[in-house]
Structure 1
């Protein structure tokens, strides 16, 4: 698919099993209000007019299933086989992003209800000159450090400088390619972390409470409630 020069592409790694959700389909294929999590996530991305392409990294044995699921989005969405780690899945999807897409987002499928306004804010921050941008929220809980056995507190951590990281994370394409090419560990859970290892500053912008990650059964219950409240406020929106 051709996309406008200087456009934005988004990568969605969705090859994980999501074991903390319990037995069943891969996490990205679980449902919120009868709609697969992955569909919610992709819709949030393409609702932003500046996103011209979404590349989804699917489970290698589920590419056809995911492709069929996303057919209603047309050529705006492409599906590739992911890898056995998140880092590998992102790298494989990045290979499918045309060079003319000079801004690339990486978005967790599990952050299914991320508002499109947050997607736009990340893109605008990169377009304004930041090479890497992440949305964050202040840490609300008291944080304790514990010993190696996990049974005793060793310190109370000052949370004033701590932030919880969300997605989408935004990057100049060339920087993201370089970061993944230099990755020395495949177990990374954060693309910004790869950029940090290159010594490149990562800018932060305010995140959004509805961009939470669906990880546990309780998160699914919360997502159902958030979606219902959103649908009540904006019944005209797709999927509501």
Structure 2
């Protein structure tokens, strides 16, 4: 469904991605883990051309999207929940969700809104509240809800647990599993919290210094002594 083939990317002279090859099949949750600076967010952002792949290709539904404009890529059915949430803090909850529906059929808006409120009842209670006054966990729910308003074929989540309290972290990963199992949404998840990420993943990749160094099922990487030592021991109780 989504494939990176020998992708390289640069920030100026910095070689951020070094020949990354990975794929996401329909109906999967695929997780990418790695330390800070490993290139995880770069890999996600390269999908939308920021930065563009300097070599290799990225295909979605067998179409090469490596050189396409960001708005065209969004219309194809890829929706990103960015690191740090990046909600429109001065807008209301409702206005943020309206922004998420920009590329979808207006006839679906009411149904999509009720679907998001069914998943996140707190957002309906806060519908006219300015988004910037929500708690961190509520803002993350809003960011996910905003992405769902576009009816994505693939939902991309960049560090969804970042800065959240443990209760909200567990809730976010429960939502990720529910979106996949109940709604059949394909999910690509970039996450530093390897313990939670690998538990929900069908397959996973480990990224180091811009290169894929290990791959396997979520269960296989959870059981890997190398992965446990590098990524799990410090947050096993999160």
TM-score scaled by length of structure 2: 0.27
Greater length-normalized contact order (CA 8 Å, ≥ 6 residues apart): 2
TM-score scaled by length of structure 1: 0.27
